[in-house]
Amino acid sequence: MSTAVETPEVPEQVIEAPSTVATKKNRRNQIIALGALAALGAVPIPFGDYGFFIGQYAAVYAMLGLSVTIVTGYAGLISLMPYTFAGLGAVMTGLIMTGWGWPFWLAAPMAALATLPVSLVVGMASVRLKTLYLAIATLTFSTALGETFFRWDLVTGGRIGWTVASPQLGPIDFGTDLNFYLLCLLVVLGLVWMTEGLRTSRLGRAMLAVRDNELEAQALGINVYKTKLAAFVLSGMMAGFGGAFLAVLLGNVSPGGYQSPVAEVTSILLVSLVVIGGIDRAWGAFFGAISLVVQSQVFQGARFFFPFFGMYSAFFLILFLLFRPGGLVQVSKITTELVKRRPVFGLAVVLVTVALNLGIAYIFIRAS
Amino acid sequence: MTLAINPIEVASFGISAGAVFGLLALGLVLIYRTTGVMNFGHWAIGLVAVVSYAWLTGEGMLPQAALPICLLLAMGAGVAAYRLVFKRIARSNQIIVILVAVGIAQFYSSLAALVLGFRPFTRLPPWLPMATLEVAGMRLRMSDVYTIGVGLAIAVGFFFWFRVSRSGQALRAVAQNREAAVLAGIDDVRYSSLAWAIGSGLAALALLIIMPHSAGQQGGLITTFDLTPLGTLLIPAFGAALVGGLVNLPMALVGGVFFGLTREFLVLAPAPWSELRTSVAAILIVVLLLLRTERFFATRQELEALEA
């Protein structure tokens, strides 16, 4: 590229290069963000063990959600397999920890690696396909895995499954709710940080380019097939790693729950939380998981409403897809703009929304 | 599962299972061709009918009388999904379309679970005669014979309706070239709704053939806690639809019979294979996907129009 030619204007946003200059404002924002995160992490404290348990759920679902973020949000591939990979990771964790007696710290990375052969084979066979056909192919493969891998008694522990003990690290026992919550929180924040980093890395920007326009990406010298395959494999490993934590969280892995991605409630819940949070940002999975898990607990608190939660979350999934496809990340951006432009009105809107949410939750729980 | 050795008996099981897959596939193809939506929530819309069937017959209604009501309810559910949701999405954005279809599946299946209540099992009484027929030493189930009959009747009915009737021709026009059809004065939303209604009705009929007749004389059972068997039914249905490249209706029925026969004849296969019905279907589907069957049944222009 010659410098004499005028550089064309870079289109706004979409793919921003990583800013290496730590400006003052940048650093201040980072400190504020860290403070807000610490405050968020402290929210479960007043609720005691119950709060920590909910926190664990949200964190583990966020880990699994990140795999949807990578494959669908970044690379634009529709894959119905993430929850199957999570199940694969969970089953492998059970086998390695209970069957072989290895520690969790070895089992978790091995669970991630165990997804590799499956995701490679499926990916090589199907990532070239067009969106719709890819969806059919992934649906088919995960259903076939439900019939083969998840019925392999030697690995899955048969009908009873595996009982998974909680991890230990020297004197620290992660069996207590607080400790495991902190572990999950740390791990999920690390994974979110990594996934955000992936977005600005060379590979991540290639994925976004492929998602936005395959032909253009190819013209830029990006190997479309390899990029897609990388996204598929990375997403599988992320789900497998999350599956290890899912196994510990559930305490018992039975292979029955991973049969059909379009009929399995948790599988659809993963899609919902990622879409509601914001599908093309890593923080979307994080906040989406918190939002959906907390809401499901509010519904559970109000016994009468609990059976409606499935319809409720599906309703919101569709609503967000129709009107705010960027999810909560997009909503928060819009709201921030509003606050900047009209501070009084904007803040009033934010306060009213928060108050309404808390009020409805309160009424829900009180009414039962 | 009784092990039938006689190949003709196996074939009768296979063709009747195939007719059901064909009906599901027919609905999928009809909806996809007219509105560009591959309905991953197809089974859940059919489930609406199954659940209302369970509820109505549980209240003491005659199964045969409950059947048409349930089909109408499923049609309503399908049309509602189209009018309220799918009509508003650009079909060029297939990712959103598929995610929404998954959401629709979740919505209707949790609605169905709500109606079923959290009982371990709900019984579904059969509505087809459950007798067995003895022909030349072979035992054929009457329900299979009727299922094959229903499949044939629907195929013939569709054929004439599409060729002869005005509404059938209008529907075909919308499916082939939406813009030209609209210019010719055809109300595309109306005919797309019609396609959704028929497609959903076919899904309901298919599930109502399978579910209440799965366990012989007692009828069938359904449980709120495990609806996955319904979700896995989509696999052979997608396979059948792929035989017709997702766009050809008669080939979808043929594909259904092909997948049904394959599934039932696996019973005769050696030990590990006879259990792997879905996996064998999966292998066939991958082959069909790699063959890119759609190019045999639609022009490039038509295929582009499907997603534009």
Structure tokens at B17: 């299972």
Question: What's the CA gap between B214 and B222, in Å, rounded?
Answer: 10
B40 touches chain A (CB under 8 A): yes
For the residues A270-279, what does the mean pLDDT come to?
A: 92
Structure tokens at A137: 């192919």
Question: What's the CA gap between A52 and A66, in Å, rounded?
Answer: 21
B38 membership: H or E segment, kind and range: none
Residue A262 has its nearest CB partner, among B100, B231, B281, at B231
Contact (Cβ atoms closer than 8 angstroms) between residue A246 and residue A90: yes
On average, the pLDDT of chain A sits at 86
pLDDT digit string (tens) for A286-301? 999 999 998 888 888 7
Three-class DSSP category at B30: helix
Q: Residue B123's beta-bridge partner residues? A: B221
Residue A125 has its nearest CB partner, among B114, B231, B286, at B286
pLDDT of residue A6: 42
Per CB-CB distance under 8 Å, the chain B contacts of A259 are: 228, 231-232
pLDDT of residue A13: 47
Say yes or no to pLDDT of A9 above 70: no
A304 touches chain B (CB under 8 A): no
Question: What's the CA gap between A212 and A75, in Å, rounded?
Answer: 9
Q: Which residue of A has its CA nearest to B236?
A: A140
Burial of B223 (0-12, 13-18, 19+ CB in 10 A): middle
A264 touches chain B (CB under 8 A): yes
pLDDT digit string (tens) for A287-340? 999 999 988 888 887 777 777 888 999 999 999 999 988 899 899 889 989 999
Please name the residues in contact with A31: beta carbons below 8 A apart, sequence gap of 6 or more.
none
Interface of A with B in 34-73 (CB under 8 A): 72
pLDDT of residue B308: 63
Interface of B with A in 83-142 (CB under 8 A): 85, 88-89, 94-96, 98-100, 102-107, 109-111, 113-114, 118
Give one DSSP letter per residue of B228-274, joined into a string.
Answer: HHHHHTHHHHHHHHHHTTTT-HHHHHHHHHHHHHHHHHGGGS-HHHH
pLDDT digit string (tens) for A109-133? 999 999 999 999 999 988 888 889 9
Question: What's the CA gap between B1 and B215, in Å, rounded?
Answer: 10
User: Nearest CA of chain B to the CA of A37: how many Å?
Assistant: 30
* Residue carrying the six token digits 């009784």: B2
Q: Which residue of B has its CA nearest to A264?
A: B228
CB–CB of B238 and A136 under 8 A?
Answer: yes
Say yes or no to pLDDT of A254 above 90: no
For the residues A334-360, what does the mean pLDDT come to?
A: 90
Residue A131 has its nearest CB partner, among B94, B230, B281, at B94
Say yes or no to pLDDT of A21 above 60: no
pLDDT of residue A360: 85
Q: What is the dihedral of CA B52, B53, B58, B61, to 10 degrees?
A: 110
pLDDT of residue A5: 41
Confidence of residue A1 (pLDDT cuts 50, 70, 90): very low
Please name the residues in contact with B282: beta carbons below 8 A apart, sequence gap of 6 or more.
A140, A141, A143, A144, B235
* Residue carrying the six token digits 């999928």: B28
pLDDT digit string (tens) for A26-79? 778 878 888 888 888 888 888 888 889 899 999 999 999 999 999 999 999 999
Write out the E strands in chain A: 162-163, 168-169, 172-173, 252-253
Question: What's the CA gap between A185 and A63, in Å, rounded?
Answer: 10
Quote the pTM value.
0.89
User: Nearest CA of chain A to the CA of B244: how many Å?
Assistant: 14
Per CB-CB distance under 8 Å, the chain B contacts of A311 are: 106-107, 110-111, 114
Contact (Cβ atoms closer than 8 angstroms) between residue A100 and residue A155: no
Per CB-CB distance under 8 Å, the chain B contacts of A140 are: 235, 238, 281-282, 285-286
Interface mutation vs chain B, best among A143, A259, A262, most B CBs within 10 Å: A262
A248 touches chain B (CB under 8 A): no
A274 touches chain B (CB under 8 A): no
Contact (Cβ atoms closer than 8 angstroms) between residue B212 and residue B125: yes
* Residue carrying the six token digits 């189930």: B141
For the residues A20-26, what does the mean pLDDT come to?
A: 63
Three-class DSSP category at A279: coil
Say yes or no to pLDDT of A265 above 50: yes
> Quick one: what percent of chain A has pLDDT higher than 90?
48
Contact (Cβ atoms closer than 8 angstroms) between residue B128 and residue B146: yes
A265 touches chain B (CB under 8 A): yes
Q: Residue B139's beta-bridge partner residues? A: B134
How do the pLDDT tens digits run along chain B, 308 residues long? 444 467 888 888 889 889 999 999 999 999 998 888 999 999 999 999 999 998 998 888 888 899 999 999 999 999 999 999 999 988 888 899 999 999 999 999 889 888 887 776 778 888 888 777 777 677 778 888 888 999 999 989 988 998 899 988 998 888 888 888 889 888 889 999 999 999 999 999 999 988 887 766 666 777 766 777 777 888 999 999 999 888 888 899 999 999 999 988 887 777 777 778 888 888 899 899 888 888 888 877 777 777 66
What does each C-alpha distance from A212 to A62, A224, B76, B299 come to in angstroms? Answer: 25, 12, 37, 26
Burial of B115 (0-12, 13-18, 19+ CB in 10 A): middle
Contact (Cβ atoms closer than 8 angstroms) between residue A108 and residue A95: no
